[in-house]
Amino acid sequence: MLAIWPRRSTQEHAEARLGLLMAAPAIATILLIAIIPLAQTIGDSLFHINLKFEDAPRPFVGLDNYVSALSDDSWFNALRITTVVSVASVVVELVLGMLIALLINRSFRGRGIVRASVLVPWALTTVVSAKMWAWIYDGRYGVVNDVLIRLGLIDQPIIFLVRPELTIWAMIAAEIWKTTPFMALLLLAGLQLIPHELYEATALDGASRWQAFWRVTLPLLRPTILVALLFRTIDAVRMFDLPRVLTNGGPGKSTETVVLYTYNTFFTSLNFGYGSTLAVMTFLIVVLVSFVYIKVLGAPTQGARR
């Protein structure tokens, strides 16, 4: 028996080395496209780098850029806009995605066609989607105004993308239309992992469909909901292409998200030092949101496993 242990240990070490060798390309890729650029961005955030002036000095300023960001009204406005857009869109997407997932999880004629058609908005690139919604909201020939006028709800066209109090909600509606299918797809995958026998057992116990949803579906779907909310919230916080194409942050700065503000700081103001600071702060916000989600939604699941 004693002679067997060294052999097993040697075999385990060999398997570990093989696993590390096979994972090396992936690790190198992550290092190349994620870790190194992140380290470079953190380093740049500690300097004053303005490319508007050729051969301008790049003095070390330490945390001064971060102090400036904490007193930057434009940054806090962008953070407020991002929070409103993220919360509103993700909440509505979760509700609509759950309803769509429950519907297409049932057996009915033409289910395959319905599933494919539901994914069409998500399959479109965001730039195409944003351009399409710009036409839909147009005050002269937009579909939304035409429908509202035909229904008698308004007397004259509304310029959705000019009025700040309407523009942000118009952008949120476009975001919901675009990404609800992604939420529905993730939730559908979770629903299909739930054994049908559990529903049969609850039916035998006399539970209604609503009770089965709360006592069976929702608890077992909790890990999937966590993943869906995490993915969608991170995407919403990092939203750039939709406001960039649909409104370019306007009117004024009423739809300027944190990523769009960071982009403008980088490539319009050419302030790479301060732009790097905003990028690092956005990264920290994403990490914080991920941590909160995992703690709030992940802890009960882990407790249940124990």
Name residue 60's beta-bridge partners: 47
Name residue 50's beta-bridge partners: 271
Predicted pLDDT of residue 50: 85
Instruction: Give the Cα-Cα-Cα angle 276, 281, 285 (nearest 5 degrees).
Output: 145
Band of the pLDDT at 296, cuts 50, 70, 90?
confident
Predicted pLDDT of residue 129: 92
Tokens of 205: 């116990």
Say which residue, 280 or 58, is predicted with more confidence: 280
Cα-Cα-Cα-Cα dihedral sign, residues 107, 113, 118, 119 = positive
Band of the pLDDT at 9, cuts 50, 70, 90?
low
Digit-coded pLDDT (tens) for 79-89: 999 999 999 99
Instruction: Give the Cα-Cα-Cα angle 8, 12, 17 (nearest 5 degrees).
Output: 150
Digit-coded pLDDT (tens) for 171-195: 999 999 999 999 999 999 898 888 8
Domain boundaries, the chain: 42-305
239 and 257 in contact (C-beta within 8 Å)?
Answer: yes
Say which residue, 224 or 54, is predicted with more confidence: 224
Tokens of 224: 């999937």
In 3D, which of 135, 229, 146 has the Cα closest to residue 186? 229
Band of the pLDDT at 8, cuts 50, 70, 90?
low
Q: What is the 3-state secondary structure (H, E, C) of the chain?
A: CCCHHHHHHHHHHHHHHHHHHHHHHHHHHHHHHHHHHHHHHHHHCCECCECCCCCCCCCECCCHHHHHHCCCHHHHHHHHHHHHHHHHHHHHHHHHHHHHHHHHCCCCCCHHHHHHHHCHHHHCCHHHHHHHHHHHCCCCCCHHHHHHHHCCCCCCCCCCCCCHHHHHHHHHHHHHHHHHHHHHHHHHHHHCCCCHHHHHHHHHCCCCHHHHHHHHHHHHCHHHHHHHHHHHHHHHHCCCHHHHHHCCCCCCCCCCCHHHHHHHHHHCCCEHHHHHHHHHHHHHHHHHHHHHHHHHHHHHHHHHHC
Interacting residues of 84 by C-beta distance below 8 A, sequence separation 6+: 168, 172
Give the pLDDT mean for 133-160: 87
Predicted pLDDT of residue 297: 67
Options 3.90.226.10, 1.10.3720.10, 3.40.640.10, 3.30.56.10; CATH of 42-305: 1.10.3720.10
Tokens of 23: 């994972």
Instruction: Give the Cα-Cα-Cα angle 225, 179, 238 (nearest 5 degrees).
Output: 85
Give the pLDDT mean for 124-143: 89
Measure the CA–CA gap between 173 and 59, rounded to whole angstroms. Answer: 44
Digit-coded pLDDT (tens) for 267-277: 888 899 999 99
Predicted pLDDT of residue 304: 41
Digit-coded pLDDT (tens) for 12-48: 778 788 888 888 888 888 888 888 888 888 998 999 8
Predicted pLDDT of residue 184: 92
Whole-number mean pLDDT of the chain? Answer: 85
Tokens of 148: 């509202």
- When mean pLDDT is compared over 22-36, 101-115, 229-243, 286-300, the highest value belongs to 229-243
95 and 206 in contact (C-beta within 8 Å)?
Answer: no
